[in-house]
Amino acid sequence: MNNIFQKNIAALSQKNKLLSEKLAGYIPSDLPELIQEKSGYNLKYMGKFIHNPLNPLGEAQEIFGMATNEPVAIHVIYGIGLGYLFQVASANSKGTVILYEPDLNILWTAFTLVDFSSDILKNNVFITNTLEDTYDEIYKKSGVQNTPQLLSLTSAREYDKKAFDEIVRKLQEIVGIYSMDLKYTREKFYPSIQMLIQNLPNLLKEKPLARFKDSLKGKTAVVVSAGPTLDKNIAVLKKYREKYVLFTVGTAVKTLYKNGIKPDFLCIIETYNSSKQVEGLDLSEVYFITEPYANPELRNFKYREIFSHISANSPINQLWSEICGENIEEYWSKGTVSYTALNSARILGCSKIILTGQDLAYLDGQCYSKDSAYKDLVCQFNSEKDNWEIVAKDFEAFASAISASPNIEERHDTANRRLERLNNSLYKVKGISGQMIPTESVYAAFVKPLSEFTEHFNDREYINTSLEGAQIDGFKNISLEDALKDTENTGNIKIESDFDYNAGIIRENLIKTQNSLNEAVIQIESGKSRIKNLINNLKRKRLVDEEILKDLKKVSLIYLFLSGEFSDKNKLFDIITASNKIELDYEMKMMTDFKYESVSRICEKLSNYLTDAEAKVNEINNMLRGKVNEIVDSAG
């Protein structure tokens, strides 16, 4: 082991101990050949040069020069070679550098020839050897406006094109996943906590699903989604209706009813008013599974009974768990109602779980089942734009299907936003037959979680009956007919429990939460007073002096306390201010100097954060006060 290798391994052990140990014990084979050119050193591997023979350093500088470089950037370097691109990125990146080198022969060679120790030890540099570790590092750094940029040498893409295409596809998946998480945080946290508070009196009547664990043990479940292949399976669903427990998502339920098929369980988890999905249906014999924060309007229908699926990865539900004292570990979720339905079938003990209409892709131009809420959407190739796009065949019908607003402009705005989001995220995913088929990033992001679900809960059988949609590893790809024909009848589906929440304890915990929230008001008022004076002084002086910087530090400390220490101990406040915190944290990361313009901008953002936090705290306090009184009344 030479001195350079030892230095690199020692540095790597502080950042990625497992990879350092793997490299230290690695016995290389088929090593790249070191070539000295007039332009510099190069490596020859598998018969090809890794770097540009004419100007390897210039090539690296040109590649990095084309990337966006700002404090929130994530530069994913694919392939190390002799480290030209990696070291250019390490020296110049204002954001994060993640080096992904899957070939240990190349990584081992580079570590023996070039001293990377100072690069490796930088706080913004990470080295990985597996896609999984790469995902983890990307996810840790994910946030607002920082989609990863994949930078690679031409040779790295060419000598293993399949591997390169795979990392591109996988990066799209991980970006889709954390984009969903970020979107949920920014857009859904505050509306979701409002919904949960509005639902409080009803939540005491809605029994946690996990209290009925294994009630349907050994039975077969069919989870119905609204993908295009649902239409092809309707006849089979009717033929074998007595042989399975039927879970359906809201967008597919009207397709089922139209064909004379009634579900056993209906799952809807949206915070927006999606009541049009079930409007006009007799649901009196259907069990309804929903989230504590789902829209209150969904609770106005008559169901057989309502169960809570209290998704454990949601901070809103974690807060509810603390208040009601319910363990929520069973409630796996990934933000999609189909996943919720799948997990519900698992919780209730179904031993064979079959997916129908879970295509996760657009097939033959069709986006959804012909009788679903989104039936008017089609995916077609636009020759003028040279790409796929989603359009509504009947825009007004589509707008009416997804929005319950009586205002036509609001309906149209909702529909246009939905179409814009769909088209902005269109790309391709690997199909069951191996071909690449059009889909959207959100759907592609669901593929991996569904596969991971089967790996974790591997004590039962999973079947996907799409046969045309996205490949979901862990699921057998067979027809619905073959999946059901030898299944025994389910018999009567009935779930009972004498469980009741303790209304008194919940009421006490809500009052404690409310009192704790009031502590933030004192800090907010102090911060608002300081930032107001600071902004006035800044406008008057038109420059940043020592006094301005001292005052800015005082206000910043108040913000850091509220967004850090206080938010850590008060989950409700953290949820209320999460969206504003994301925006302000981004501005702080982007601040590279303390000139008048920069300080003015950050002061304005701090002022907005404090003003908005105060307004939201007051609103939530008023809502809580009213709902606590309702719980008192309902508890007698």
Summarize pLDDT for 105-114 with one digit per residue, the tens.
Answer: 999 999 999 9
Judge whether 466 and 355 are in contact, CB under 8 Å: yes
What is the average per-residue pLDDT within 333-339? 87
Strand order in the sheet with 305-308: 207-208, 305-308, 287-290, 265-267, 245-249, 220-224, 352-356, 461-464, 476-477
Domain boundary (423, 452, 484) is at 484
E strand or H helix at 96, and its extent? strand 96-100
Return d(Cα 160, Cα 105) in angstroms, integer: 14
175 assigned to some structural domain? no
Look at 158-162, 317-321, 517-521 and tell me which has the smallest mean pLDDT. Answer: 158-162
Residues facing residue 76 across a β-bridge: 98, 150
Greater confidence, 339 or 138? 339
CB neighbours of residue 169 within 10 Å: 16
Task: Give the pLDDT of residue 442.
Answer: 66
Whether residue 471 is found in the same domain as residue 555:
no
Residues 388 and 457 in one domain: yes
Encode pLDDT of 210-267 as tens digits: 999 999 999 999 999 998 899 999 999 999 999 999 999 999 999 999 999 999 999 9
Instruction: State the amino acid at position 111 in one-letter form.
Output: F
Residues in the chain: 636
Give a yes or no: residue 490 inside a domain: no
Instruction: Report how far residue 288's alpha carbon sits from residue 571's, in angstroms, rounded to the nearest whole number.
Output: 28
Q: State whether 538 and 479 are in the same domain.
A: no
230 and 122 share one domain: no
Question: In which residue are the tokens 């939201």 written?
Answer: 616
Encode pLDDT of 570-612 as tens digits. Answer: 889 988 998 788 778 777 777 778 889 989 989 999 999 999 9
Does 189 lie in the same domain as 147?
A: no
Q: Provide mean pLDDT across the span 443-453.
A: 84
Instruction: Please check whether residues 471 and 522 belong to one and the same domain.
Output: no
> Which pLDDT does position 518 carry in this prediction?
87
Would you say residue 383 has pLDDT above 90? no
The rounded distance, in Å, linking the Cα atoms of 90 and 111 is 16
Structural contact between residues 555 and 531, judged by C-beta atoms closer than 8 angstroms: yes
State mean pLDDT over 365-378. 68
Q: Greatest CA separation found in the chain?
A: 89
pLDDT reading at 184 higher than 60: no
- 101 close to 127: Cβ distance less than 8 angstroms: yes
Distances (CA, A) of 124 to 140, 207, 586: 12, 47, 16
pLDDT over 60 at 179, yes or no = no
Structure tokens at 507: 């009421």
CB 186 within 8 A of CB 144: yes
Contact 361, 377 (CB under 8 A): no
Domain that holds residue 75: 3-159
| Same domain? 89 vs 218 | no
Mean pLDDT of 313-334: 92
Res. 298: pLDDT tops 50: yes
CA-to-CA distance for 133 and 123, rounded, in angstroms?
A: 17
Q: pLDDT digits over 607-620, tens only?
A: 999 999 999 999 99
What's the average model confidence in pLDDT over 377-398?
Answer: 79
- Residue 260: the pLDDT is 96
Q: What CATH number did the domain enclosing 14 receive?
A: 3.40.50
Residue 491 lies in a domain: no
* Residue 497, in any domain of the structure: no
CB 18 within 8 A of CB 30: no
Do the domain assignments include residue 97?
Answer: yes
Q: Where are the alpha helices (DSSP H) in 142-186?
A: 154-159, 161-183
pLDDT, tens digit (0-9, with 9 covering 90-100), for 299-321: 999 999 999 999 998 889 999 99
Q: Judge whether 494 lies within some domain.
A: no
CA–CA separation, 451 and 474 (whole Å)? 5
- Short-list 48, 39, 19, CA closest to 156: 48
Distance CA 238, CA 226 (A): 16
> 462 and 508: one domain?
no
Q: How far apart are CA 361 and CA 228, in angstroms?
A: 9
Structural contact between residues 388 and 359, judged by C-beta atoms closer than 8 angstroms: no
pLDDT at site 29: 82
As a whole number of angstroms, the distance between CA 636 and CA 629 comes to 11
CB 185 within 8 A of CB 579: yes
Band the pLDDT of 629: cuts 50, 70, 90.
Answer: confident
Tell me the pLDDT of the chain averaged across its residues. 87
The answer to whether residues 453 and 333 touch, using CB atoms and an 8 Å cutoff, is: no
Q: 636 falls in which pLDDT band (50, 70, 90)?
A: very low
Q: Which pLDDT score, from 0 to 100, does residue 182 have?
A: 52
The proportion of the chain whose per-residue pLDDT surpasses 90, expressed as a percent, equals 54
Do 562 and 420 share a domain, yes or no? no
10 Å Cβ neighbour count for 506?
Answer: 20
Q: Are residues 477 and 537 in the same domain?
A: no
For residue 594, which of 536, 540, 550 has the smallest C-alpha distance?
A: 550
Name residue 430's beta-bridge partners.
436
pLDDT tens figures, 397-426? 888 887 878 888 888 988 888 888 777 667
Whole-number pLDDT of residue 430: 80
Q: Are 431 and 470 in contact (CB under 8 A)?
A: yes
- φ, ψ of residue 210 to 5 degrees: the values are -65, -15
Yes or no: say if 218 and 459 are a contact pair by the CB < 8 Å rule: no
Residue 306, in any domain of the structure: yes
Tell whether 571 and 598 lie within a shared domain. yes
Neighbouring residues of 614: CB distance < 8 A, sequence distance ≥ 6: 521, 524, 525, 528
Q: How far are the Cα atoms of 19, 237, 360, 402, 592 from residue 374, in angstroms, in the given order?
A: 47, 21, 14, 8, 46
- Same domain (yes/no): 405, 551: no
- C-alpha to C-alpha distance for 353 and 343, rounded to whole angstroms: 10
Work out the pLDDT band at 368, boundaries 50, 70, 90: low
Domain end (from 484, 514, 529): 484
Q: Is it the case that residue 343 has pLDDT exceeding 90?
A: yes
Q: Into how many domains does the chain fold? A: 3
In the listed set 484, 515, 548, which residue is the last one of a domain according to the structure? Answer: 484
